[in-house]
Structure 1
Amino acid sequence: MRQIEQLSLELLNKTKQVYLIRNVLYFLPALVLIAGFTLLAKNHQNHSKNALVIDGPKKPTSSPVLSPEEGIKKMHVEDGFMVKLVASEPLTTAPVALNFDEKGRIWVVEMEDYMPDTIGTGEDQPLGKVAILSDKNGDGVMDDRKVVIDSLVLPRAICLIENGILVAEPPYLWYYDLKDDKAINKTLVDAKYADGGNVEHQPNGLFRALDNWIYSAKSAKRYRKKGSKWLVEKTHFRGQWGITQDDQGRLFYNTNSENLLGDYFSPGLGATNEHQRAVSGYVKKIVADNRVYPVRPTPGVNRGYLEGVLDDSLRLVNFTAACGPVIYNADLFDKEYYGNAFVAEPSANLIKRNLLQEDGYRIDGREAYVKKEFLASEDERFRPVSLYVGPDGAMYVVDLYRGIIQHKTYLTPYLKNEIKERNLTQPLSCGRIYKVVPVNKSGEAVKFSKDANQLVSLLQSPNGWVRNKAQQLLLDGKYKTVAPALRKNLVAGNNPLALTHSMWTLEGLGLLQPSDVLPLLKQTDPKIRTQALTVLPSVLNKTNYVQFMPVLQKMINQDDSLAAPYIAFLAHHIQPLSASASKQLLLTLSKKYASNQYVADAIISNLQDKETAFYQEALRVNPDSSLAIFKQLKRVMTDVAWSKNNSNAVDIAKLYPKGAALFGTICQTCHGKDGNGVPSLAPPLNNSEWVTGDKNKLLSIILYGLTGPVKVAGKVYKAPEINGDMPSIGASKEFTDADIAQVANFIRSSWLNKATDKVTAADVTNTRKRFKNREKTFTMEELAKLP
């Protein structure tokens, strides 16, 4: 309930800035599905221009509950592939995420308490579970269930590590020791894992990456277990629901309306300057095309009544619930599928395939097909929310299998009507896990043993899941005796992937030495060099850094442009060892790569509170202030100066405590704690004329939402820089008019915002009366015409 409140507020603030936060909120923490109801349709109103009803002969009149076998028959999958059932109700209910263990068992997260009806009755009940599904008879279908943890409220992610399991249960992150598949010794890892946000806007994923850290979507934190302690570090804020990696350990994710986002560089670098709002090469749009091609009419999306959301056949036009991506990196599929990115779209009942290609720093992608999808279902209740590569090389699909996926905070009257017409509320007891495999080709899961040498050999597996699991088991078992075998892989040179995993396994065991890394920095393969640069901070110390400086300098002198950003990122780790060596490295890079935006931002990532001084020094070395390094430095310097003039939001919070609380839980996720917006999500509330100007227009946005581009402080914000649609909260019963007035006053008075006229509950009530019959969101143009 409280999460929902927060959600709505988020919208509030967004509205103030005329956000376009595009309904990012659709993503139920684990149900990004919700996003599916975000946009929608040309054929709307036979009623008034503000009506929310779609009529027409093409609209489905029913949505029957299908058995898994019937559901598979309704799936259109690419030629040469087939879908097999792995698990279904009653063995699993409302699954949203999973992990495989070394025995091939599935550890599934079940969010059974999510949206029992259109008003969320009982959503705060502890019905969530973590269960183990096993295949006892070996036929490929799970037939045994064991509940490991129950009585959870809306759990969303797990991660198996050492002899325990991490569990995300907002706002907490817990670690449980495991004994005989029973959870014991519950430990709090992070009381603010999901600090703020709501069911649709909270961290998830808990992805154990190549670099031995655990990353989440919708989060700027990463975690690592060191003995009995947990390390928590700042990282780049990424994505919304679901997170994955490629063979180089680069992370990929998305937001509900964006096909695929990702990083060009390794995940643990470059998030060290709090003044830097974005770092080139991180949170990049990988696939620009957001079109989707359902095989059925999809009127059941939250704003299906809006022009352009649905096409003439009532099918969703663009992603509205993109989630759960996976990079396929196994050998069960044919070679052309290796490295492809698959993305789920539960609101349109489909899975998209994208082809990725590297070009220098960049990773670019495109859709694999023209006007079709890898997999699409005719069943409205098919809700793929998470995708995984499995131990057998198949692609696994987590299907929530529910009618309602939009959270109550943003559930429009239009969608409520769709739910009622097709009886989508019940049942709540379904859930399926499928796998996609080639026809006439079956994969076999690798058998893991406790033999450390066998685990080392599996680092050469053609299946990425197997390689990653072997690395993790070596770390979890603390098998330090395998160091010689791992070092042998470092010099073999015939398998770069085995080399990469061996290097990171040594790092995870605490056995990596400078002598292991130095030769790798001189390899001809640029991917090996960048992996070595990424791991370098783990071996640098006060006495050995001098060994590496000549090698780094040589890379710069030899115009190794692919290594240059990594070297710049590394300066942060050299600085505490030698401030002069670090600065000289940065100055050299700023001169040689002054026009390179990626190197420029990598340099700036080292300069917190030193931006102005470095600007002057760099200008003496390279006097052309029009170059990228100076433009990007100026931008950061301006942001710093601006933030110093911001008012103290703590003082404002004392005046509007409820508004401040709601902002922190709902709005802050997308607009930022400082109100300056979050890249790819929402524009600034700070210094926004939509926030400080006509309070009635601000309330119109809060109550009814905003769609399309919005201009804030002279700059036009539009997708993909931000989400293109901000949902409303006017229909929500979670917020009183007094609550909405408090939030409006809080943002109108915080930071640089100094609005003098206060918003009252009566103002909110009057705005409701003025637009009594309105259901549609506003556009910037409509708001401008309001008297």
Structure 2
Amino acid sequence: EFIASTDFFFRPVNTYTGPDGLLYIIDMNRGIIQESNWTRKGTFLRGKIDYFNIANVNQRGRIWRLVHDDFTPGPKPHMLDVPAADLVQYLDHPNGWWRDNAQKQLILLDDKAVVPALQDMATGRKNASALGRLHALWTLEGLNAIDKPVLLTALSDADPQMRKAAIWISERYLHQQDTGMITRVGQLANDANYDVKTQVLLSLGANKHPLAQQITQELLAKNPDNEMLKRVRFSLDRNEDAKKYGMKLGSFPAPERKLILAGSEIYKGMCSPCHGSDGMGLPTNAAPALKGAKHVNHDRDFAIRILLHGLKGPIEGKTYPSEMASMKDNSDEWIASVLSYIRYEFVGTSARGVKGRQSAVVQPEEVRKVREAYTSAREAWTIDELEKNILK
């Protein structure tokens, strides 16, 4: 902490480095900053607000410029008034404001005449810092003027952030299954820097080329304990699952997805003739609808007991021609699969307000615990019994 104020309404919310190299502080300069829910009449805060009359202090925002005694501010920029050729030099400026805005303006101007100068800077032919080379490389990418010679040089740059950026930008060639570029990027799987290794995995991990897959497998095998690489692999696998199974089902871990898919097949063959393929029941009213049914989506134990032991009697005041038969002769995994599919596919808002498919899956271990609680034979449940025993 290096700054304080005796002004009661000093509310600094952000800071920025300006083009002059000084620190700019955004001050909301307002009396009340709490949400209205916490400043209602009768609350402690409302009493203080009214006592000090601070509700009237608003719309007074300020910008402060903090100047160090020993620092001479830099010059005022005129980037909008100069040609693209004059902006290239600022990509290597010590102040990040100049680098960022010069890069943005160069891309907006889209003047390809500066490409040779940018190539010289990015490849080190022109003496520039690592930050300058990095800005030049990304500016070439933004101008759609990147080429293989520049990328190959950048892949060998002494700075790891340059190598990482070069891998990222090379994806335009990797997506074309360019074997030469895949080979060159793959060599960086042995880089000493883990940011570089991580980018190799990000750029090659989803590539279907056999060489790319071999490189990523070897990279993971050589770094089995690296958490970042493991998380990247996990994310890539999830993305592939989403493409294959859809965004909803693809978001589930593979074991849970397996249960849901198995349950889908069982439901279509055994359950849909009574409950309907869409879970809405049939015109014959052979069985109740499952879509949004609270007795299925409300509680896992509720649903497990119904499938294990059966259900008889009226359901929400309506009587059906036949009762739900016991399925206890099937395995724990079989019952978990059916319930997982039903709760996933026909999910609704439960009595407890729980929404969404992520809570849908029933694990075989949960079925086993309920089964063990009823080792002796019992008759089918009624809704009244279930609600009395489970719902509190």
TM-score normalised over the length of structure 1: 0.31
- Are residues 560 and 402 of structure 1, via their aligned partners in 2, closer, same or farther at CA, if it must alter by over 3 Å? closer
Which one has the bigger helix percentage?
A: 2
Cα 1:602–1:467 change in 2 (3 A) is same
Alignment of 1:636-715 (within 5 A): 636-637=253-254
Match of 1:537 among 165, 171, 175: 171
1:342-368 Cα offsets, whole Å, 9 max, x none, are: xxxxxxxxxxxxxxxxxxxxxxxxxxx
Among 62, 65, 70, the alignment partner of 1:432 is 62
From 329, 332, 353, the equivalent of 1:747 is: 353
Seen in structure 2, the aligned counterparts of structure 1 residues 748 and 601 have a Cα distance that, compared at 3 Å, is closer
Structure 1 residue runs of 4 or more that deviate by more than 6 Å after TM superposition: 641-645, 651-656
**Cα distance, 1:379–1:521 mapped onto 2, change above 3 Å:** same
| Residues 519 and 383 of structure 1: CA distance in aligned 2, closer, same or farther (over 3 Å) | same
Structure 1 residues 548 and 599: alpha-carbon distance in aligned structure 2, compared to 1, 3 A threshold:
same
The 8 Å contact of residues 571 and 606 in structure 1, kept in 2 or not, is answered as no
Which deviations, in whole Å up to 9, do the C-alpha atoms of 1:220-258 show, x marking residues without a partner?
Answer: xxxxxxxxxxxxxxxxxxxxxxxxxxxxxxxxxxxxxxx
CA distance 1:567–1:419, shift in 2 (3 Å): same
Within the candidate set 34, 37, 41, 1:409 is matched to 37
Distance 2:179 2:159 in 1: 24
Corresponding residue number in structure 1 for 2:134? 500
Determine which of 427, 444, 447 is the counterpart of 2:78.
447
Q: Contact 1:389–1:465 at 8 Å: present in 2 too?
A: yes
Question: Aligned AA for 1:485?
Answer: A
Deviation at 1:508, TM superposition (A): 0.6
Rate the CA distance shift 1:456–1:640 in 2: closer, same or farther, 3 A: farther
SS at 2:4's partner residue? strand
Judged with a 3 Å threshold, the aligned counterparts in structure 2 of structure 1 residues 381 and 512 are, in CA distance, closer, same or farther, namely: same
Query: CA–CA distance in 2 between the matches of 1:460 and 1:490?
Result: 11
With over 3 angstroms needed to count, the CA separation of the structure-2 counterparts of 1:421 and 1:462, relative to structure 1, is same
Contact map agreement 2:182 2:212 (CA 8 A) in 1: no
2:91 match: 459
Name the structure 1 match of 2:223: 593
Counterpart selection for 2:109 from 477, 495, 498: 477
**Bigger RCO of structures 1 and 2 (CA < 8 A, at least 6 apart):** 1
SS at match of 1:385: strand
Letter in 2 for 1:601: R
The secondary structure found in structure 1 opposite 2:353 is: helix
Contact kept in structure 2, 1:556 and 1:564, CA below 8 Å: yes
Alpha-carbon displacement from aligned partner over 1:40-83 (angstroms, at most 9, x marks no partner): xxxxxxxxxxxxxxxxxxxxxxxxxxxxxxxxxxxxxxxxxxxx
Partner amino acid, structure 1, of 2:122: L
Offset, 1:450:
2.7
| 8 Å Cα contact 2:18/2:97 also seen in 1 | yes
Residue 376 of structure 1 deviates from its aligned partner by 1.9
Distance 1:640 1:402, change over 3 A: farther
| Deviation at residue 753 of structure 1 after TM alignment | 5.8
Instruction: Give the CA deviation at 1:551.
Output: 2.0
What is aligned with 1:570? 203
Using a 3 Å threshold, how does the CA distance of structure 1 residues 416 and 505 change in structure 2: closer, same or farther? same
**Judging changes above 3 Å, is the alpha-carbon distance between structure 1 residues 562 and 429 closer, same or farther for their aligned structure 2 residues?**
closer
Deviation for aligned residue 1:473: 0.3
Preserved contact between residue 458 and residue 470 of structure 1 (Cα < 8 Å)? yes
Q: Distance in 1 between matches of 2:130 and 2:76?
A: 23
AA partner of residue 595 (structure 1): D
Question: For 1:482 and 1:382, how far apart are their aligned partners in 2?
Answer: 46
Which of residues 528, 547, 562 in structure 1 aligns to 2:180?
Answer: 547
Residue of structure 1 equivalent to 2:7:
379
Amino acid at match of 2:46: K
The match for 1:509 is: 143
Task: Label 1:471 to 1:392 Cα distance change in 2 as closer, same or farther (>3 A).
Answer: same
| Aligned position for 2:237 | 607
Question: Does structure 1 retain, via aligned residues, the 8 Å contact 2:115–2:140?
Answer: yes
1-structure distance, mates of 2:350, 2:259: 22
Structure 1 residue 454 displacement after superposition: 0.9
SS at match of 1:417: helix
Corresponding residue number in structure 1 for 2:212: 582
Contact 1:512–1:539, Cα closer than 8 Å, also in 2: no
SS in 2 for 1:435: strand
Task: Tell me how many residue pairs correspond in the alignment.
Answer: 268
Alpha-carbon offset, residue 538 of structure 1: 4.1
* 1:49 alignment partner in structure 2: none
How many angstroms apart in 1 are the aligned matches of 2:60 and 2:237? Answer: 52
- Note the C-alpha offset of 1:465: 0.4
Within a 5 Å distance, the mapping from 1:199-348 to structure 2 comes to: none
TM-score normalised over the length of structure 2: 0.60
Partners of 1:597 and 1:587 in 2: how far apart? 15
Computed over aligned residues only, the root mean square deviation of the Cα atoms, in angstroms, reads: 3.5
Percent identical across equivalent pairs? 25
Name the amino acid aligned to 2:34. Answer: Q
For 1:520 and 1:406, locate their aligned partners in 2 and report how far apart those are by CA, in whole Å. Answer: 50
Q: Is the 8 A contact 1:586 1:603 kept in 2?
A: no
> What amino acid is the match of 2:28?
L
Cα–Cα, structure 1 residues 467 and 643, in superposed 2: closer, same or farther, change >3 Å? Answer: farther
- Are 2:91 and 2:136, in contact at CA under 8 Å, matched by a contact in 1? yes
Cα 1:559–1:402 change in 2 (3 A) is closer
Output the CA distance in 2 between the equivalents of 1:410 and 1:643.
Answer: 44
In 2, Cα distance between equivalents of 1:385 and 1:641 = 48
Cα pair distance change 1:641/1:422, threshold 3 Å: farther
What secondary structure sits across from 1:594 in the alignment? coil
The Cα of 1:469 is off from its aligned counterpart by 0.3
**Distance in structure 1 (CA, Å) of the matches to 2:239 and 2:129:** 43
The code of the aligned residue for 2:78 comes to K
Report which of the two structures shows the higher radius of gyration computed on alpha carbons: 2
The alignment partner of 1:473 has SS state of helix
**Which amino acid in structure 1 is aligned with residue 159 of structure 2?**
D
CA–CA separation in structure 2 for the residues paired with 1:752 and 1:459: 47
Compare the two structures and name the one with the higher strand fraction: 1
Residue matched to 2:342: none
